[in-house]
């Protein structure tokens, strides 16, 4: 009998905060940076109540103090106050901060996380009020946070601007305090109802796209209805691999591995560590699914969801001749550079080009002619995918560059605007092309690499969620939209004694792909998907896989309690001695193995190891003893007459009690 250390159970494939210069007496406020360039270890997870506070200051222009605190107010059961520098904190701007009012009396190690906005009310036109918002985790070292350059003093004190009326200034604060949960104990399913996808190395771009497609329920239902069989292998079948992945996303309690899917793509480990293009992956995946759906009950689903058509035309100006060509698209590439928002990009997309002079159009019947060239849309799809051209080739520098310019996109997109300026004469004007934003895919980084994640609102409600690989968190609308516009933000100079003129920094996290759903098709696309839509063999297969996974998980957690015992019986000796073995009793790789608890007595082990056709040998023979480090391996034969007295206890070594 040989006692061995068991093999390990296979595991499943598994902006910088800037302090304000110390220029005045007392604790100094910290400057807020609206976009964080790094991810903290903690994350807000619940929807807090927003507390509002209004501070009215009379005779504001005659204030003769460096800084001024408001009365204390309560938000989230905590005490707060507003701190302002009426003449600026060594800058020519009003400086304003949110301060923890009782920070000196709080226990050691305290912290609280808050999202807040500060505003100077315009008392003539409220819509022109100056407002800024940010978020911060307040601690003893950083007990105040806000904006050194909130607004220019020239604007604030200009009586015609409306910020001072009868020399009264009104400041408002809105504060939402969130509970903070440690990163390592965070449970996405428990906190949001959704689970994430594991990153294989550089597959974050794929994870964000898959989450977006999964949360289009009509698409998910079509994938479930693709014909697959119980004999199919997920790693060799894209439909089955995608069905399996979607099923696990819907019913699992923890993050999901994507190796089966990438293997079905024909990818190896190297591909998983290479970052590909989201648009390219989206097109290839849709083309493969479209091909697999042919001849099935879901044939044409990809076209029904994502396919639109536009018309390329060239129209002669001086003669009656027009050439047109209809083309289909699954997504649209929109220019970012030189465009302030999505509408400006569409304007540029349908912009008319003049063909004249040396660039005249060669028409077949009329020869060279002055002409107009352009594109108009015949129809838009129910699910509109917009690829933002954040990357382009710089011919001057001969390199690819990322465009981080500010680029705005609306919550609702009206493509019938200005009397249908984007539509061709053949377009069906009875279809209302009003779209609502479903998801925002974000790229954070530069042209040579970065990270992808997605903001999605699965039911098109006001609830947004951030899907960042394995982690899913609740987010507000501002974070999903405005903070993904890109562009620049201002930070103050932080070196004391130097010019404190604010300087700008580029935001490298910005929207890369937008998904809109047409309002008139919303009920059809955001449909209910349940187990009735899933094939029986798929449910059985995945239920079995889940049970096996639970067993492996249990074995892994209990592995330290067990050891492997190999038993050589009479028939093993007869079978091997003189045939397969010459210098030992048996070949240990060819005898029966038992996984047993280390503390089990031998008399309890015997029934597991014996059956009606085999028995232990009747002689006593020590065959092998070797000791190395903390591991001991012993081979021996046990006398059958003394098996009730023999005990085994293994804790790094074996101890025996002879007869």
- Nearest in space to 116 (alpha carbons), one of 101, 136, 130, 86: 136
Catalytic-residue membership of 204: yes
Rounded CA separation 315/320 (Å): 8
Q: How many CB atoms lie within 10 A of CB 99?
A: 20
Beta strands in 153-251 (DSSP E): 169-178, 180-182
| 3-state SS track over 510-571 | EEEEEEEEEHHHHHHHCCCCCHHHCCHHHHHHHHHHHHHHHHHHHHHHHHHHEEEEEECCHH
Rounded CA separation 6/633 (Å): 12
Report the DSSP pairing between strands 30-31 and 144-152: parallel
| Residue 416 half-sphere exposure toward CB, CA atoms < 13 A | 11
Report the DSSP pairing between strands 169-178 and 592-597: unpaired
Is residue 79 exposed (0-12), middle (13-18) or buried (19+ Cβ within 10 Å)? middle
Rounded CA separation 45/39 (Å): 15
Give the tokens for residue 491. 């930070």
Beta strands in 283-411 (DSSP E): 308-316, 322-329, 332-335, 353-355, 361-363, 367-369, 371-379, 383-389, 391-394, 399-402
| Residue 620 DSSP SS3 | coil
- Nearest in space to 311 (alpha carbons), one of 422, 449, 219: 422
Work out the angle between the directed axes of helices 204-214 and 278-293 (0-180°, nearest 10).
Answer: 50
What CA dihedral angle connects 635, 640, 643 and 648, to 10 degrees?
A: 10
- Nearest in space to 404 (alpha carbons), one of 322, 326, 487: 487
Rounded CA separation 262/112 (Å): 41
Catalytic-residue membership of 443: no
Pick the catalytic residue: 169, 204, 286, 316? 204
Give the tokens for residue 433. 């092309």
Give the tokens for residue 243. 């069905």
Pick the catalytic residue: 136, 443, 451, 588? 451
Cα 260 from chain centroid (whole Å): 20
Residues paired with residue 130 on neighbouring β-strands, in sequence order: 120
| Rg of the Cα atoms in the chain | 34
Kindly list the catalytic residues: 204, 451
């Amino acid at each position: 009998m040989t006692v061995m250390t068991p093999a390990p159970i296979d595991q499943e494939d598994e902006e910088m905060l800037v302090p304000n210069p110390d220029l005045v007496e007392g604790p100094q406020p910290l400057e807020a940076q609206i976009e964080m360039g790094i991810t903290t270890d903690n994350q807000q997870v619940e929807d807090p109540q927003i507390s509002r506070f209004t501070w009215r200051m009379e005779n504001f222009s005659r204030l003769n103090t460096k800084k001024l605190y408001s009365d204390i107010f309560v938000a989230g059961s905590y005490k707060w106050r507003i701190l302002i520098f009426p003449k600026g904190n060594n800058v020519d701007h009003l400086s304003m901060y949110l301060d923890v009012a009782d920070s000196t009396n709080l226990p050691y190690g305290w912290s609280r996380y808050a999202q807040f906005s500060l505003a100077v009310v315009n008392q003539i036109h409220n819509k022109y009020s100056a407002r800024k918002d940010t978020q911060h985790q307040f601690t003893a070292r950083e007990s105040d946070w806000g904006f050194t350059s909130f607004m220019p003093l020239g604007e604030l004190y200009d009586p015609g601007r409306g910020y001072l009326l009868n020399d009264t200034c009104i400041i408002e604060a809105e504060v939402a305090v969130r509970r903070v949960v440690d990163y390592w104990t965070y449970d996405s399913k428990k906190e949001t109802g959704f689970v994430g996808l594991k990153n294989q190395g550089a597959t974050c771009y794929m994870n964000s796209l898959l989450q977006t497609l999964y949360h289009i329920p009509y698409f998910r239902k079509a994938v479930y209805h693709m014909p697959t069989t119980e004999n199919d292998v997920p790693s060799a079948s894209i439909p089955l691999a995608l069905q399996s992945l979607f099923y696990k996303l819907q019913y699992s309690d923890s993050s999901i591995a994507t190796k089966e899917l990438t293997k079905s793509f024909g990818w190896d480990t190297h591909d998983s560590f290479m970052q590909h293009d989201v648009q390219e992956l989206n097109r290839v995946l849709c083309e493969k699914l479209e091909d697999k759906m042919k001849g099935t009950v879901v044939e044409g689903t990809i076209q029904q969801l994502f396919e639109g058509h536009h018309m390329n035309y060239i129209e002669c100006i001086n003669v009656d001749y027009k050439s047109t060509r209809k083309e289909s698209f699954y997504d649209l590439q929109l220019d970012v550079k030189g465009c302030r928002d999505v509408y400006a990009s569409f304007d540029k997309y349908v912009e008319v080009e003049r063909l004249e002079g040396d660039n005249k159009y060669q028409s077949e019947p009329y020869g060279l002619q002055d002409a107009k060239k352009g594109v108009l849309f015949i129809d838009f799809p129910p699910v509109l995918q917009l690829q933002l051209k954040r990357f382009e080739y710089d011919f001057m520098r001969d390199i690819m560059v990322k465009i981080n310019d500010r680029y705005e996109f609306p919550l609702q997109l009206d493509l019938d605007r200005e009397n249908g300026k984007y539509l061709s004469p053949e377009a069906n004007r009875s279809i209302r092309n009003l779209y609502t934003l479903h998801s925002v895919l974000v790229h954070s980084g530069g042209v040579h690499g970065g990270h992808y994640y997605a903001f999605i609102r699965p039911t098109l409600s006001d609830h947004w969620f951030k899907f960042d690989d394995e982690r899913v968190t609740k987010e507000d609308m501002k974070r999903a939209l405005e903070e993904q516009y890109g562009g620049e933000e201002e930070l103050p100079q932080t070196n004391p004694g130097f010019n404190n003129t604010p300087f700008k920094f580029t935001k490298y996290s910005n929207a890369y792909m937008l998904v809109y759903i047409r309002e008139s098709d919303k009920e059809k696309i955001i449909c209910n998907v349940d187990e009735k839509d899933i094939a029986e063999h798929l449910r059985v297969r995945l239920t079995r896989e889940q049970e096996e996974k639970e067993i492996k998980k249990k074995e892994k957690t209990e592995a330290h309690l067990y050891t492997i015992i190999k038993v050589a019986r009479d028939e093993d000796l007869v079978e091997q001695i003189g045939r397969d073995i010459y210098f030992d009793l048996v070949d240990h790789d060819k005898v029966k193995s038992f996984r047993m608890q280390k503390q089990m007595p031998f008399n309890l082990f015997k029934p597991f190891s014996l059956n009606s056709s085999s028995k232990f040998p009747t002689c006593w023979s020590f065959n092998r003893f070797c000791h190395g480090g903390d591991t001991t391996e012993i081979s021996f034969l046990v006398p059958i007459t003394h098996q009730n007295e023999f005990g085994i206890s293994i804790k790094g070594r074996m101890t025996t009690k002879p007869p």
